[in-house]
C-alpha cells in the first residue's frame, strides 16, 4: 500500500472511529493532525517533524512574521526533505480555494527542489467536501468548454493544474494568491493524482478523507507574478 493510500484510509477510518465514539464535535484541522502524525510516525519514527520550516519560501522572507512551514515533513538527512504533507479540514473558514492552491504550490516546490514525495489531504464531513468541490472557484464555471477543477475528485488519473493566466475564470483567483508573492518564483503548472477517498461510500453526515499526490511537471518552468500583467500588483506610492 503506497503512502497516499495509507494516509487516506487511515485518516478516513480514524475519523469514522472517532465519530462512532461521539467525538465529532472536536473535529478540526488540528484534531486531524493527530491521525496524520501517528500514521507518519509509525512509518518513519522520530524523523517526522510537525510545522517544519518551508525550505524554499522561508529564506525569501525579508520581513517579520510567521515563516512559512509545512504541516509535516520527514527528513532522512535533515534538512533534506523526503516527504511533505499538508492537511486541510473541509467546512473550516480557513479552508478556502485560495488556501488549497497555496498548499499545492508549496508542496510542488518541495517536490521539485528536494525530490520529495508530497501529499495533500482534505478531510471532513462528506456534505462539506461535496459543497466545497461544487463551488465555482474550485470546479470552474459549468458553462465553459474544457473547464477543469482545481483537483480531480472523480478519478485517479494524473491532471495538470495550470497557474498561468490561460484560463480567464481563474485569473482573479490566482491574482489574489500572488498579491504578496510578486517576486516569488511560481511553477507554470502542478501535477496531481488522487487516491481513492475513504470511505468510498459515505453518508452526508459522516466523515471522509481525500488525498492527492503532488508532483512537479516534466520540463518544469517558473514565472514571477510581477512579470505577468494579469497578476502584477502596482506598487502604492504616497
Angle, to 10 degrees, between the axis of helix 97-114 and the axis of helix 171-178?
Answer: 70
Band (pLDDT 50/70/90 cuts) for residue 59 is confident
Across the strands, what pairs with 215?
191
- Mean pLDDT of the region 13-33: 93
Number of C-beta neighbours around residue 37 at 10 A? 16
What would the grid cell of residue 39 be?
500514521
- CA gap 184, 223 in Å, rounded: 8
Q: Does residue 62 register a pLDDT over 70?
A: no
Q: Does residue 238 register a pLDDT over 60?
A: no
Q: Does residue 7 register a pLDDT over 80?
A: yes
Look over the chain and give the mean of its residue pLDDT values, rounded to a whole number.
Answer: 93
- CA gap 238, 230 in Å, rounded: 24
pLDDT of residue 60: 83
pLDDT of residue 142: 86
What are the residue ranges spanned by the domains of the chain? 3-227
Q: What is the pTM of this model?
A: 0.94
Band (pLDDT 50/70/90 cuts) for residue 63 is low
Instruction: Let me know: does 81 contact 74? Beta carbons within 8 Å.
Output: yes
- Mean pLDDT of the region 66-75: 92
- Of 7-11, 201-205, 225-229, give the lowest mean pLDDT range: 201-205
Instruction: Let me know: does 171 contact 210? Beta carbons within 8 Å.
Output: no
Band (pLDDT 50/70/90 cuts) for residue 103 is very high
CA distances from 136 to 15, 157, 192 (A): 28, 22, 20
Report the percentage of the chain scoring pLDDT > 70: 97
CB-neighbour burial class of residue 21 (10 A; exposed 0-12, middle 13-18, buried 19+): exposed
pLDDT of residue 233: 92
pLDDT tens for 206-219 read 999 999 999 999 99
pLDDT of residue 64: 63
pLDDT of residue 146: 80
User: Which comes out higher in pLDDT, residue 235 or 138?
Assistant: 138
- CA gap 170, 74 in Å, rounded: 33
pLDDT tens for 153-180 read 998 989 999 999 999 999 999 999 999 9
pLDDT tens for 113-153 read 999 999 999 999 999 999 999 999 999 998 888 888 999 99
What would the grid cell of residue 165 be?
493566466
Amino acid at each position: 500500500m503506497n503512502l497516499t493510500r495509507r494516509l487516506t484510509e487511515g485518516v478516513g477510518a480514524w475519523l469514522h472511529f472517532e465519530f462512532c465514539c461521539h467525538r465529532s464535535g472536536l473535529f478540526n484541522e488540528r484534531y486531524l493532525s493527530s491521525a496524520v502524525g501517528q500514521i507518519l510516525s509509525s512509518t518513519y519514527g522520530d524523523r517526522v517533524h510537525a510545522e517544519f520550516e518551508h525550505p524554499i519560501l522561508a529564506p525569501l522572507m525579508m520581513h517579520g512574521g510567521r515563516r512559512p512551514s509545512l504541516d509535516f515533513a520527514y527528513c532522512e538527512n535533515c534538512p533534506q526533505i523526503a516527504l511533505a504533507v499538508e492537511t486541510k479540514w473541509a467546512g473550516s473558514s480557513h479552508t478556502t480555494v485560495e488556501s488549497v492552491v497555496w498548499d499545492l504550490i508549496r508542496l510542488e516546490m518541495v517536490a521539485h527542489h528536494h525530490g520529495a514525495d508530497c501529499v495533500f489531504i482534505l478531510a471532513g464531513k462528506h456534505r462539506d467536501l461535496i459543497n466545497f468541490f461544487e463551488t465555482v472557484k474550485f470546479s470552474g464555471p459549468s458553462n465553459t468548454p474544457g473547464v477543469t477543477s482545481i483537483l480531480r475528485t472523480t478519478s485517479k488519473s494524473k491532471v495538470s493544474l495550470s497557474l498561468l493566466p490561460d484560463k480567464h475564470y481563474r485569473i482573479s483567483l490566482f491574482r489574489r494568491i500572488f498579491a504578496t508573492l510578486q517576486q516569488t518564483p511560481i511553477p507554470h503548472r502542478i501535477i496531481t493524482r488522487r487516491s481513492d477517498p475513504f470511505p468510498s461510500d459515505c453518508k452526508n453526515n459522516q466523515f471522509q478523507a481525500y488525498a492527492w499526490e503532488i508532483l512537479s511537471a516534466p520540463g518544469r518552468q517558473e514565472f514571477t507574478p510581477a512579470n505577468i500583467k494579469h497578476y502584477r500588483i502596482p506598487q502604492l506610492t504616497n
